Amino acid sequence: MIPLAMPGPESFHRPFFPEIMKSLDHTDYRILEILQQDAKTTIKEIAAVLSLTTTPVYERIRRLEEEGYICAYVAVADKKKLDFQILAFCSVSLKEHQRHALDYFEAEVKNMKEVAECYHIAGAYDYMLKVVVRSMGDYQDFMVNKLATMDYVGNVQSVFAMTEVKCSGALPLF
């Protein structure tokens, strides 16, 4: 749902990102916020919320896409309805930390359909993977036949989500 009231300029203060502020204004941020809530919101609907005509809204969205502020439009599928019962977070340590080992690991993980997200992290482990599968058997297959067979993988620690409390890819723009 699109909020009808726009925050005033006094609530829009971003002192830590001055270089971004030069290229994006309050209206750009509002457009991004609206599209993060529902990417199917029409230009006409966005224009109505912002009290603008459709042409400047269309041009702003085009610019946000061209400049890479909008990376993609996606449909968020319901995991439960599609019978994905297991959500696991895998902490992975590599045996080696040379650039070739990191590049190899990252390239391989990008091709694993079970891995929804992958982060190179600091701390006791090198990577954090978010893995989504339909069953524990599928998770075991992923671990035994994919992750454990990769060169450079030293240790894997898995934790399983019991309940998904919040899942949002939206950035806190305001």
Residue 78 within a domain: no
Residues 117, 151 share a domain: yes
Residue 165 within a domain: no
Residue 141 within a domain: yes
Question: What pLDDT does residue 5 have?
Answer: 45
User: Taking a C-beta distance cutoff of 8 angstroms, is the pair 114, 84 a contact?
Assistant: no
Residues 62, 114 share a domain: no
pLDDT digits (tens, 9 = 90+) for 109-161: 999 999 999 999 999 999 999 999 999 999 999 999 999 999 999 999 999 99
Helices 43-50 and 54-66, interaxial angle, to 10°? Answer: 110
Question: What pLDDT does residue 169 have?
Answer: 83
Question: What pLDDT does residue 23 have?
Answer: 85
Domain end point (choices 37, 66, 95): 66
pLDDT digits (tens, 9 = 90+) for 27-72: 999 999 999 999 999 999 999 999 999 999 999 999 999 999 999 9
Eight-state DSSP code of residue 126: S
Region at 79 (left for phi over 0; alpha for psi -120 to 50; beta for the rest): alpha
User: Taking a C-beta distance cutoff of 8 angstroms, is the pair 84, 124 a contact?
Assistant: no
Residues 90, 61 share a domain: no
Q: What is the pLDDT confidence band of residue 19, given thresholds at 50, 70 and 90?
A: low
Residues 102, 144 share a domain: yes
State the residue for tokens 């966005």.
Answer: 46
CATH code of the domain in which 141 resides: 3.30.70.920
Residues 147, 92 share a domain: yes
Domain of 50 in residue numbering reads as: 9-66
Residues 156, 90 share a domain: yes
Residue 140 within a domain: yes
